[in-house]
């Protein structure tokens, strides 16, 4: 799979049961294929519980500003969809 150019972003919703992984560890120098994905950081609920949440005012389509709680989790692998491309997961809470 080819990676995206640095000036391209991809925005989508991930399913509730999506499996996320940490970045792959560096090669060990032993024989065999190196790991492509790291350990699992936990379920979606566990990732949300460990994230640092911030409060932001977000403009809506109606022109009003709503208060949302947002957390950013950088450096995740969504291996099933993006293979070894690192993604940033943005969590939003109403």
Among 2-6, 24-28, 89-93, the least confident range: 2-6
What would the DSSP string read from start to end of 20-80? Answer: -BPPPPPP-SSSSPPPSS------HHHHHHHS--EEEEEE-TTS-EEEEEEEEEEEEE-HH
Asked, for residue 21, whether it belongs to a domain, the answer is no
pTM above 0.85, yes or no: no
Distance between CA atoms of residues 57 and 59, nearest Å: 7
The answer, yes or no, to whether residue 64 has pLDDT greater than 80, is yes
User: What pLDDT, on the 0 to 100 scale, is given for residue 30?
Assistant: 92
In a domain, 25, yes or no: no
Number of folded domains in the chain? 1
Residue 55 has pLDDT above 90, yes or no: yes
Q: Which residues form the domain of 77?
A: 44-93
Mean pLDDT on 67-93: 88
Bigger pLDDT: 94 vs 29: 29
């Amino acid at each position: 799979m080819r990676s995206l150019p640095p000036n391209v972003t991809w925005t989508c919703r991930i399913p509730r049961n999506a499996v996320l992984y940490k970045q792959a560890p560096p090669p060990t120098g032993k024989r065999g294929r190196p790991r492509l994905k790291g350990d699992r950081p936990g379920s979606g609920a566990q990732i949300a519980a460990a994230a640092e949440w911030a409060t932001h005012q977000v403009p809506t389509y109606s022109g009003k500003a709503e208060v949302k709680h947002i957390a950013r989790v950088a450096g995740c692998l969504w291996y099933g969809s993006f293979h070894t491309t690192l993604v940033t997961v943005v969590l939003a809470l109403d």
